[in-house]
Amino acid sequence: MQRFGKTALVFLTFVIGLAVAGGIDADGSCWHRDFGFGSTVCVCNSTFCNALPAVTAAASGSALVYTSSKAGLRFQRQELQFKQAGNGGGQILTVDRKTTFQKIHGFGGAFTDAAGEMILSLPEAAQDLLLRSYFSADGLEYNMGRLPIGGSDFSNRQYSYDDDNGEDTTLEHFSLQKEDRIYKIPMAKRAKELMPETSGDLHIYSTVWSPPVWMKTSNKFSGFGFLKKEHYQTYADYYVKFLEAYAAEGVDIHAVSTGNEPLNGVVPFKHFNSLGWTPETMHVWIRDHFGPTIRGSKFKDVKIVAHDDQRIFLPWMMELVLADNKTADYIDIIAYHWYLNFITPGALLDAVHKDYPDKPLINTEACNGDKPWDFTRVQLGSWTRGEYYLGDIVGVMNHWTAGWIDWNLALNLQGGPTWAKNWVDAPIIVDASKGEFYLNPTFYALAHVSKFVRRDSVRVELHHSGGGLLEAKVDSIAFERPDGALVVVLINKHNSEHSVSIQEGDRGQVDVHVPARSFVTVIYW
């Protein structure tokens, strides 16, 4: 289905023109464009953007199957029938709803200054279609977001909420900036308006990259530097000031973290806004200042998030930071970033869950194009990058992760704007000169989970059998939704197609064709 930005007649003329040009699917689901990175993007503009229609219940005895592939399928829907269980001749996945794991919080992306600037660079109708693509019932149905407190590396400048006023220890001059009023606040409000009732509330996670420089030992936003001890309480109060300011603007914050990537302020791998902490100083600040200040304010129900740094530093970092029950009791959630996941085992997440089973694990940042060997930061149509995303989501959620938040909602063709020249890729890339934006394969990778796995879904066990001993396997994960629907997500990273049979008790078996290099989601009630 399509979303209309002008009259149906104009839209029909536009679609006919595209069909003649040979770039649009016969069902109008995607206007393909190939940029030479292995697959295609779907092109959107003011008059056209392919929708992902709301998923409605299949008939009894049926399963709905959605497929996207490197070869060009984009969310293709088909309905299959269950049959008597038997040997499907391939990989067999047996659903066990009685064996359950973590409850899912949701999926989302970041309301950065860069994303706001790129969205506003489009014509008004295209702006709305872009946000709909993420948050509406005919989009990814995101229900989470991440919002920087002050500037980040994906701003056009370095800033905080109390600059150029000397040591303002009472925070008398604290003030939101133009970026909040032009970009972040309007984005968050519009996203919330677009969300269907089934998505629940918009859970916004906020954190500071760097406090005002007068609070820091370095007197700089970036590089090696720590919080001055005399400003431990001032910094805790700074968070409350932010919560008050956003509440006054009608934006509720669900959670605040102890700071973005604190180890980058100790060992500056990349030169951007940061605040360094050692485990001991972080422990003291949470225990004696941050925790009591948040819990003693009118925002006492706001969740407090620890770590917000690379997975490779878990679990030993948490063992040091949460060294006593008082400090641990202030922490509600443990967050991590994906950038070094490729060299760290998922078992680290299992260990953290074992030590802190009452604290959900949330991935709060991810993007492609960040590595030194990524010479082309933005790769429009890269299927491999989509595989990285879905492969990571399936992998970490099989190790107790309860939510997954992407980085920038949108960037430009260079992978910015970013004052730090820290260019990266994003699921949606904007070409302001053409009034277009492009849905990357990473967008569809996210769609195959976020659109189906609602908040409070529970991961359930999948037992694996069948297939040849040396046969490459399709990665998988399963969830039971609050409405009773069962969701199975499959990712085939191989250059050969596979057959996967999903079996569950008296329902029997449904046989699913999984094309080469594809994402497949199966849902049934």
pLDDT digits (tens, 9 = 90+) for 47-75: 999 999 999 999 999 999 999 999 999 99
Task: Give the total number of structural domains in the chain.
Answer: 2
In a domain, 25, yes or no: no
Q: Are residue 502 and residue 374 in the same domain, yes or no? A: no
In angstroms, the CA 181 to CA 160 distance is 14
Is residue 244 among the annotated active site residues?
no
Q: Are residue 428 and residue 520 in the same domain, yes or no? A: no
Q: Are residue 313 and residue 447 in the same domain, yes or no? A: yes
CATH number of the domain residue 169 falls in: 3.20.20.80
| Maximum Cα interatomic distance, the chain, rounded to a whole number of Å | 74
Q: Are residue 77 and residue 212 in the same domain, yes or no? A: no
- Active-site option among 141, 179, 365, 504: 365
Q: Are residue 445 and residue 481 in the same domain, yes or no? A: no
Q: Are residue 346 and residue 484 in the same domain, yes or no? A: no
For the chain, count helices (H), then strands (E). 13, 22
Q: Are residue 444 and residue 509 in the same domain, yes or no? A: no
Q: pLDDT by residue (tens digit) across 477-503?
A: 999 999 999 999 999 999 999 999 999
Q: Are residue 433 and residue 491 in the same domain, yes or no? A: no
Is residue 280 among the annotated active site residues?
no
In a domain, 34, yes or no: no
In a domain, 6, yes or no: no
In a domain, 28, yes or no: no
Q: Are residue 424 and residue 499 in the same domain, yes or no? A: no
20 pLDDT higher than 50 = no
- Active-site option among 117, 141, 261, 436: 261
* Token pair 């005895």: residue: 61
In a domain, 19, yes or no: no
CATH number of the domain residue 512 falls in: 2.60.40.1180
pTM of the predicted model as reported, rounded to 2 decimal places: 0.94
* Token pair 């029997």: residue: 508
Q: How far is CA 287 from CA 134, 236, 353, 358, in A?
A: 37, 11, 21, 18
Domain boundary among 452, 480, 508: 452
In angstroms, the CA 99 to CA 105 distance is 19
Q: Are residue 68 and residue 96 in the same domain, yes or no? A: yes
- What does the pLDDT average to over 317-340? 97
Strands, sheet with 32-34, edge to edge from the N-terminal-most edge strand: 32-34, 40-44, 436-439, 428-431, 411-412
Q: Are residue 182 and residue 227 in the same domain, yes or no? A: yes
Domain boundary among 412, 427, 452: 452
Which residue range(s) make up the domain with 478? Answer: 62-102+458-524
In a domain, 5, yes or no: no
Contact 393, 459 (CB under 8 A): no
Q: Are residue 95 and residue 223 in the same domain, yes or no? A: no
Q: How far is CA 294 from CA 251, 303, 377, 435, in A?
A: 17, 9, 39, 43
Domain boundary among 415, 437, 452: 452
12 pLDDT higher than 90 = no
In a domain, 439, yes or no: yes
17 pLDDT higher than 50 = no
In a domain, 22, yes or no: no
DSSP 238-291: HHHHHHHHHHHTT----EEES-S-GGGGTS-SS-SB--B--HHHHHHHIIIIIH
**Predicted local confidence at residue 16, as pLDDT:** 39
Q: pLDDT by residue (tens digit) across 214-251?
A: 999 999 999 999 999 999 999 999 999 999 999 999 99
